[in-house]
Structure 1
């Protein structure tokens, strides 16, 4: 064949364009941020306000109520809830999805300014906070203290490790948890001080006055000016002990008056790593930074740190690790799917050049999709890459149809270039229509809000980008490659005898179906009804659980339990954890603060475990199974409420959540107790918890204002004196080798072990007189503080639970039935269900509407393509047939129907009509050439059988790895893959017979109407 300059230049030019696109795609991949999920904006903001000393009831009345009322007037507010505790309140404002949270936060601040005069004048200004998942730590580290020395370990973290981590590019903040410092404790016996005519405050003032270095003027001598400085700082504890204290009995050495001990400062938070004292480090990334990139830089910095061998630094949590594992798994599935699709092509085509032409469309389309993703601001995450993995099999569909058309014409003896042009033109319209029907199904998601929409919009975009790229590839690159790479001498595509046998059987069945259409139609309807009967056996869920190799344990002892008691409980838990296989390390924090910013009372009765499991490949149990094993091991631990949680992605609420609302807290508590007892009997329920807190035991001191005033004392002065005596105050500090050591003065704890000791406590009046506390106050034991929860201005108690080995929908139905039949509600009280069940129902409703709109759009696209309302109506019959495969697939795989399944149906709706479009389009072409309808149907079915099977099998086999769920992070894509694989399999097989029969029946009906019309006209 003579090759002209033009025929040579065009392939070279196109090759340069393809190479350029691949390079740009690779650069886009490299520069696109990598994350676990798409960027999420939760429509939630909060107001925090403190009011020292106020009881929960006072906080509710004076702070929470007026703020709630004002927040409820802001546009787009969905609900307002609050938590009132001793000393402050937290008001949470939930907005409708899609609200501009920057504007909403600004509006909240304006409303707070408007009611500032209604709030107590001595309460600080309320603060507005926004909830952002990016504010959570991306890396958590645990550092074991050498020989249990938390003092030196904390110095190491503060002086060496933290500064280096702060310098890492992309790090926003580094916080330290746990640890302690050296302190000098001066324990005072009030009786001894009283005998010497001293008070604690006077002793503290003496210590502060002696430990100073002050400038003291200046003098001139011989023309020179000398500044004067008095040095009086303590250099050591020995000097402190030898300090002379003036008393009524003369000058007494300090250590003869008090006990002086150098020790470690008490702390509210104690951390242990694998049972050994440790310090925790939490690292947050800057907004907009790449999580994986920042985490990698942190790891590199840690590797370069020169730490002693005694220092053991462990990574407790690294979000980037799961991200990389998940994305690696999705990429592997994508590559496996590509090879399976290419294998199908070769089996049908039996020609390497043909397989290369179609297979080459995969990397071109994927790389082009990456370019679109980069410029549209998407991130590489398990959903966008999962979308590409879902689209791998669909990417080659257009190319297959184009190439098959070219081959068919070439087999008739047409020249390669002419066959490429005519073959592309012949099926180009059908290819464009089939691609548009697949892409258009994602358009309604734009109008859907909520968490599900935020998650799956990026997936829809990635699939749409890939399919749009594949359409351009099929219409331009495939004809070009076909006209230049295929050999002219090749007369026909090699077809196996097995396929010819299958083709003959199909043609036989198709003719039989046309001859007896009622049998096929009735049989298909019966099969559809049988499949619908499986619905009760298929459960429902919101989002599938993800195995992130991470388990949390929350431990709560009775209120008032000391940290020593909590520590003993954790030792029992540690022994149980050591006996469980699959655990890599565990980190526990005792006491400290929780996520609630308004703290009241001590949290010494609480402990929280972070357990890192071994990788999935190294253990034979899932994270939920390990959690259940831990749960069973810890059942024997008494007087402790222990909850174990796994597979928590942080994107959804508790699986089961019941909100009990009403006016009286005691009645709410009684109802919540009844509900907890009842739902605990429901199969699959685990970890029943309540947000109601009974409060910690405390000592209530009521000041007799009249008597106190006679001594010149106020309630505030009495409170300060008591705090100074019991908790102590730092009087001064001295430097030792560059480190500051605090000197704390407090009453000897051994002298304050009962209410009687507290009554005998000496308080100094402004006149200098010492008064026993019991003379001016009434001291008694009490219970508090507690907290008051409200939602939409009604008091509320929330009961939550997790589930195991059952689907969400059936568990919630059983819980509703149990509560309805066994829990009686007084007038004015009600129980509502929230949590994942509410999220699931909301997502089902909105995505169901999107599915209905997608079907309408598909019909409109086909109507425009066929320029008829008749043929698109016939093609739409292929959609309900997929229900047979969908329900069968969910039933045999044991997969509940969830949001992922619904999105899979949405995608499937756009795919399944493609085969019918190609078939009906060719039938119409044959009819236009003068062929009878029955003959045209058989001829079109035989001609289009191969491309239909090839496109269906490439899509199906391309999704097999995702359907199996190979690797980490594939749980979200798995339901979609199951729905598409089984739905497309059954839909394709039935559509090959059912659609032609429906076409024939409607065509006959159409002809009869024409005949009647002719007769009427005559």
Structure 2
């Protein structure tokens, strides 16, 4: 079949070229429309269930909301994890599904169970709703609204954001939610005076029911008049504060009405805030966050948002301005620029090497055309399989591997044509170029297919990865396999067809000066190793042993940290802090950071937004620190050093705040995937919140002493001050009151009860009934609130309830239906693997856990463990498959094992290269080792198959080994050079995203150096040793 395909291509080259042109057009279209992002979206398949109950404490949220939701979700199929957090006014339950589950199907499953959960949740508390269909990479665009002339205050700006800007941006394709943050959400309030209520003999419930009854429109169908019909409408909605004030609550004995305005005032207030946004140390702003739909093209969505923003600006009221402060395309452009630079430089190096080694510029240019054509072919399959173009999927392409098949084809054809021309001149007849090209291509077709098969098998372990590592590296493996498949098809069709055009004239096989120089150095070295064979083999085994001894000292980490260019700073305070104090404290932090000349702007989010996808409380702030371009830095040139200087300045000038540093995307993705915001999380599980807190503090003290531990802190689970009002059932019974009367009073002090809405055109605002400001100013005022008994007497709240100021839970975190507390920390200055190993031993010695309590380690360390365990299983399986392939090809266990010696020698170079560059072992480096195995085996196959071929022609083992080693020097060097040079730009890159690519490239380059030396020096020597007594026994077909 392969031979027939090559023959068809040579005989029908115009058809082949036409098909290649069509493929190129399709590839160009796919490339233009390929989803582009900086990094792969590694967020797991999850659905958030959010329930807002603005007045409930964390314990009530857990008991009445979180627990029923968790129970309802527990029986769903394919669930991996359920975790939740209950805070003041919010319950957030995250249901994580297996990766095989479609996101929309998962949401459908959750939606069905929500109906069951709602039946268990009191109607007055709130209704659980699903969060937006977004991911850790969803926050793609953020902006602020401001009023430079001061004509709009924070409440007016928030109204413009909610009812003008947000509604227009929601229409952008790919935008799933526009989250408003900061400012004051407008609300109409009826603020009742308790004294006036009592003077009129009214209760708060009377006013609430009166307002509710007097704020509605109704329809009465229609009446018919002659040939026409008239709709009936009853218009009873209130339209302004005057309408509300004129609602009659009751009529007195003499027929005198008591209006709402007689017992309180009607004002334009604001809802109870749970968050605020500040900027650059200058105070509060109103912000908007654009969340992208999961799976959408971030570059396309951002561009569409920008276009819509320009339209929105035209519709803004005079005195209001909109300006962006975060735009994902900046990071995307930087990352893609890194990929483009590395790919272009790698392609140029490969082309130059091909020209130098092939000795034929036409053949070299033909091979070079495989690079863009393979990319276009890969783009078609990437779009078909929904693989986005990003730092990982495109950044790991090695053009040296991609052109390897074409190099074999062209190199063999040049050699065969030169021999055929020489023979024709000697015998005096004409050579048939087309026939020679056809025969030369068929001769090496099987080795070319075999090479691709080996590389594809080598990438099988990567395709088996799951979780965050799978989402990062599987797209890379798929892209490489797609490009290799394209290269194979092109090598079997396009290359033979083109060679009949570009190599049909006189062809001479010239040795380039590089090959001549290499031979002059190689042959004496080969002879030296042959003379001292035992010593050379002992040295080789010693190098393997030394590298094995070095490996444990490399350390380990999951994936090198991608430099996003900006910083994310987290500030944590005491749980008892108020929102106003948090805002003041955050403003001070901003001022300190703005003093660094490297900082462009600082935007802080304290607490949570209206759509609480990030459920922070008011004691917690996230700061987005946008940095200037690196060439404008003056304090330091190193980002780690800059972070240390910032940390020192904040510790000195803003005492009392616990500060930690991360990066925007990294922080959000880590939280969504594992529920923590740090490199390493120590999760302690148990039932008693007090015991959990005590043991977490012990762990903090223990782990702080471990070298490399930074930003160590335990989750703030306690210390939230509460004024608890517990009805005295005996007392309320004496006065003829109910618990509901007391609870109504408690609920109405600040938050109020919603009695309807006020419509202003298309805008609508809640209308609540609450007590006036004086009633809830302090504890004494609340103690003295008066309840009206059925007999008309007035009873102070303190007489019918026990009122105490206590500290209770600030938040309750649960995983898999158990309470847990987390100790979070970042690791700087050492690898995560060795840090965790030391920390685990220290905690085991110093912290004793009660029965029923246990620890789990999470964060990136958990990802590293999971990926390592999977690779330990699938890598040996892939190596075994390669061995089977080698055995079926050579029909010899000895020769299969002989070729296999290339793998440990390749590992030697990879380990030494990591050690020399001071890089720990990571999954990126592991992927580099996997890719390296394929090239190492290929070089051995090239050498052994040619030596076998020479022996089949009748040469002795020693003669075959020597001639084979000398003849295959150029192909082996060419394969190694083009493969390694394609990675050199990646290994040396310092721009955005290079951190993830450098270990992979370093391993491949280092490993190729040692495996090539093995193939050229040790492998032939070993071959002569093991085959010296098996003269002439080969009967296999030519490889």
Is the TM-score greater than 0.5?
yes
What secondary structure sits across from 1:642 in the alignment? strand
Which is further off, 725-734 or 821-830? 725-734
Partner of 1:373: 382
Structure 1 pair 64–481 and aligned structure 2 pair: CA distance change class (3 A): closer
1:946 aligns with 2:975: no
1:525-604 equivalence runs, <5 A: 525-592=541-608, 603-604=617-618
Partner of 1:406: 413
1:656–1:836 Cα contact (<8 Å) kept: yes
Partner of 1:161: 165
Partner of 1:27: 29
1:503 aligns with 2:519: yes
1:7 and 1:54 mapped to 2: Cα distance? Answer: 75
1:396 aligns with 2:406: no
**Of residues 139, 153, 156 in structure 2, which corresponds to 1:152?**
156
What secondary structure sits across from 1:609 in the alignment? strand
What secondary structure sits across from 1:482 in the alignment? helix
1:806 and 1:989 mapped to 2: Cα distance? Answer: 33
1:330-729 equivalence runs, <5 A: 330-387=339-396, 389-390=397-398, 392-412=399-419, 413=422, 415=431, 416-486=433-503, 488-496=505-513, 499-592=515-608, 603-615=617-629, 619=633, 621=637, 624-636=640-652, 637-646=654-663, 648-649=665-666, 650=669, 653=674, 654-728=678-752
2:568–2:664 Cα contact (<8 Å) kept: no
What secondary structure sits across from 1:406 in the alignment? helix
1:67 and 1:262 mapped to 2: Cα distance? Answer: 35
2:10–2:500 Cα contact (<8 Å) kept: no
1:587 and 1:29 mapped to 2: Cα distance? Answer: 35
What secondary structure sits across from 2:995 in the alignment? coil
> Aligned-pair distance for 1:996?
0.4
1:108 and 1:182 mapped to 2: Cα distance? Answer: 32
1:600-650, Cα deviation, whole Å (9 max, x unpaired): xx9443333222333456556565554433322211322323332227531
> Aligned-pair distance for 1:400?
1.9
> Aligned-pair distance for 1:403?
2.0
What secondary structure sits across from 2:982 in the alignment? helix
1:709 and 1:151 mapped to 2: Cα distance? Answer: 44
1:313 aligns with 2:317: no
Structure 1 pair 647–850 and aligned structure 2 pair: CA distance change class (3 A): farther
2:9 and 2:275 mapped to 1: Cα distance? Answer: 77
1:696-738, Cα deviation, whole Å (9 max, x unpaired): 2111112122332344321112221333344456789988899
1:860-895, Cα deviation, whole Å (9 max, x unpaired): 222233344332221111111012210111112222
1:960 and 1:753 mapped to 2: Cα distance? Answer: 68
Which is further off, 150-159 or 96-105? 96-105
Structure 1 pair 831–229 and aligned structure 2 pair: CA distance change class (3 A): closer
2:41–2:137 Cα contact (<8 Å) kept: no
1:99 and 1:76 mapped to 2: Cα distance? Answer: 7
1:319-334 equivalence runs, <5 A: 319-334=328-343
* CA RMSD in angstroms, aligned pairs only: 4.4
2:687 and 2:955 mapped to 1: Cα distance? Answer: 79
1:197–1:247 Cα contact (<8 Å) kept: no
> Aligned-pair distance for 1:243?
12
1:290 aligns with 2:297: yes
Structure 1 pair 253–500 and aligned structure 2 pair: CA distance change class (3 A): closer
Partner of 2:4: none
2:202 and 2:78 mapped to 1: Cα distance? Answer: 63
1:95 and 1:172 mapped to 2: Cα distance? Answer: 21
Structure 1 pair 242–822 and aligned structure 2 pair: CA distance change class (3 A): closer
What secondary structure sits across from 2:493 in the alignment? helix
> Aligned-pair distance for 1:538?
0.8
Partner of 2:5: none
2:368–2:403 Cα contact (<8 Å) kept: yes
1:279-323, Cα deviation, whole Å (9 max, x unpaired): 211223345432211111111222343257854433233334323
TM-score (norm. length: structure 1): 0.87
1:179 aligns with 2:193: no
1:992 aligns with 2:1016: yes
2:562 and 2:839 mapped to 1: Cα distance? Answer: 24
1:979 aligns with 2:983: no
TM-score (norm. length: structure 2): 0.85
> Aligned-pair distance for 1:540?
0.5
Structure 1 pair 968–618 and aligned structure 2 pair: CA distance change class (3 A): farther
1:207-218 equivalence runs, <5 A: none
> Aligned-pair distance for 1:962?
1.2
1:41 and 1:591 mapped to 2: Cα distance? Answer: 23
What secondary structure sits across from 2:602 in the alignment? strand
In structure 2, runs of 5+ residues without a counterpart are 1-7, 223-229, 424-430, 1035-1039
What secondary structure sits across from 2:139 in the alignment? coil
Which is further off, 9-18 or 932-941? 9-18
What secondary structure sits across from 1:824 in the alignment? coil
In structure 1, runs of 5+ residues without a counterpart are 1-5, 219-224, 1011-1018
1:44–1:94 Cα contact (<8 Å) kept: yes
1:451-491, Cα deviation, whole Å (9 max, x unpaired): 32233222112111212222233333334333432374453
Structure 1 pair 511–8 and aligned structure 2 pair: CA distance change class (3 A): closer
2:266 and 2:114 mapped to 1: Cα distance? Answer: 50
What secondary structure sits across from 1:138 in the alignment? strand
Structure 1 pair 432–725 and aligned structure 2 pair: CA distance change class (3 A): closer
Structure 1 pair 299–755 and aligned structure 2 pair: CA distance change class (3 A): closer
1:992 and 1:967 mapped to 2: Cα distance? Answer: 36
2:27–2:379 Cα contact (<8 Å) kept: yes
Partner of 2:1037: none
Which is further off, 165-174 or 838-847? 165-174
> Aligned-pair distance for 1:684?
1.6
1:930 and 1:166 mapped to 2: Cα distance? Answer: 77
2:278–2:587 Cα contact (<8 Å) kept: no
Q: How many residues align?
A: 996
1:583 and 1:130 mapped to 2: Cα distance? Answer: 32
Structure 1 pair 170–934 and aligned structure 2 pair: CA distance change class (3 A): same
Structure 1 pair 407–151 and aligned structure 2 pair: CA distance change class (3 A): same
1:294-305 equivalence runs, <5 A: 294-304=301-311, 305=313
1:553–1:644 Cα contact (<8 Å) kept: yes
1:227-268, Cα deviation, whole Å (9 max, x unpaired): 999999787879979999999999999999877876766643
1:778 aligns with 2:802: yes
**Of residues 269, 272, 281 in structure 1, which corresponds to 2:275?**
269
2:138–2:294 Cα contact (<8 Å) kept: no
